Amino acid sequence: MSRLFQLLCLLGFTFQLKAQTSLSEETQSYVAQPRGHYVLQNLTILDGTGSAAVTNQDILIKDETIMAVGEDLSVPDGATAIDLTGKSAMPGMVMLHEHLFYPKTTPGGPYGLDQMTYSFPKLYLAGGVTTMRTAGSIMPAADVNIKKAIERGDKPGPKIDVTTPHIDREGTGVFELATINSSAHAADAVNFYADMGCTSVKVYNFITREDLSAIIDVAHARDMKVTGHICSITYREAADLGIDNLEHGFYSTADFIPDKEEDICHPFKMRNALLATGVDGKIVADLIDHLVKAEVALTSTINVFEPYTDREVVPGGGIDALFPPAKEKVFKRWASKQGKDSIDYLLFNKAKVWEKQFYDVGGLLVAGTDPTYDGRIVAGYANMRLLELFVEMGFTIPEAIKICTLHGAKYLEQDNTIGTIAKDKIADLLILDKDISRDISAIRSINMVIKNGIGYDSGKLFKAAEGYVGIR
């Protein structure tokens, strides 16, 4: 053996060893199943494709790859067998409207947002999210840095596709956001954030069609997709300009405003038009048809519109994650809305029907939880809740799971490696104590979240963030 070859082998060995032991002490403290060679046995699996559950399944995992899925797999030499009788499995969630910020909890003063670099990545992973896209940012550098820290194994959290901050003209009034003043400025902003490490683009309420067109040109040239929470531009206009994704189901649709003024955002007119539009109106069906033909993905964030009356204070069960002043603020608001949100219910019920229609005619419906607004939406807990709401919307359990897994992966063009439980895919999956094929609320029984072949203790991650949402 030549000396060079010996040296290369040694280097290769060192690299391999490094890849296997590179988790920081902090990340390591959440690991329940180290990366290696193991067989998860006797699971009920919902594989993310939309197919019915299959019982009595084994999953063979080696390093970060699923080597085989099937009944009674033989345990290879050196592999560990783990009996999980009674438990179920589904793919890790791929969620597309997440944030690493949360509304300020300090009393008085201007409304504002605080960065949650510490608590949110832990909560997302604990709640079953193995890959997420943000959809807007208030501290893009912090988002990019935590993404890299997670990739290195320094911090626990999901894999992150970081979007730009919300690109917008003056008008929204969010203190943390910069504004653009021309279409050329908008294009420069995309380049600036792409150079910083952002990999997707988010546009917001007050941009013009010319801005959007300039943004899409630059973004697509840099291999980035563009999503929008829009208002000044209609869904139809955005689709025709080549946008890839629209946020918040049909809640941000200005298309139904009679005599809509071009490039002008009128939130109240939009809301009134939505209220006035018939649930099965032809105008809606035509728009859905147009979006599906243009291959625009639609993100449901239906959980952020979940009414208050007779529903959980923090949907998904995360009230104790909140810093005490945040808890008090959220509870007060929830209590004040009991029995007073009939209009919210009206829109909510309509939005549920429209989103399902979009899916039923072949649209790519994707999911995200949008932890913003009044503080009631908490990372991780909200992701579990959204899955439950999809079943409330009329989807079957396999369909609900598919929207939160395979559909997200498809949008990110990563469905060849993630989004389902299948041979040769990356081992990103959830182990649930209860059987999710029978009851969607079993999503609240996550035992372990396996990401890149490493199993993390969900309960421990949730615990670590307790009391921190609202401060860090």
When the beta carbons of 370 and 415 are compared against Zn ion, the nearer one is: 370
Residues whose CB is less than 8 angstroms from the CB of residue 7 and which lie 6 or more positions away in sequence, other chains included: none
When the beta carbons of 316 and 453 are compared against Zn ion, the nearer one is: 316
List the one residue from 370, 415, 428, 457 that touches Zn ion (CB under 5 A): 370
**Is 168 near Zn ion (CB under 5 A)?**
no
When the beta carbons of 255 and 370 are compared against Zn ion, the nearer one is: 370
Q: How far is the CB of 419 from Zn ion (least distance, A)?
A: 22
Q: How far is the CB of 248 from Zn ion (least distance, A)?
A: 8
Name the one range near Zn ion by CB under 5 A: 117-125, 167-175, 253-261, 364-372: 364-372
**Is 399 near Zn ion (CB under 5 A)?**
no
- Site size toward Zn ion, by CB under 5 A: 2
User: Going residue by residue from 85 to 124, which x/- string records binding to Zn ion, judged by CB under 5 A?
Assistant: ----------------------------------------
When the beta carbons of 135 and 174 are compared against Zn ion, the nearer one is: 135
Name the one range near Zn ion by CB under 5 A: 112-120, 211-219, 362-370, 437-445: 362-370
When the beta carbons of 174 and 448 are compared against Zn ion, the nearer one is: 174
When the beta carbons of 137 and 445 are compared against Zn ion, the nearer one is: 137
**Is 58 near Zn ion (CB under 5 A)?**
no
Q: How far is the CB of 276 from Zn ion (least distance, A)?
A: 26
Q: Which residue is nearest to Zn ion (CB)?
A: 370
Q: Which of residues 125-144 bind Zn ion (CB under 5 A)?
A: 135
Cα 48 from Cα 403, distance rounded (Å):
8
**Is 237 near Zn ion (CB under 5 A)?**
no
When the beta carbons of 33 and 227 are compared against Zn ion, the nearer one is: 227
Q: How far is the CB of 136 from Zn ion (least distance, A)?
A: 5
Residue ranges in contact with Zn ion by CB under 5 A = 135, 370
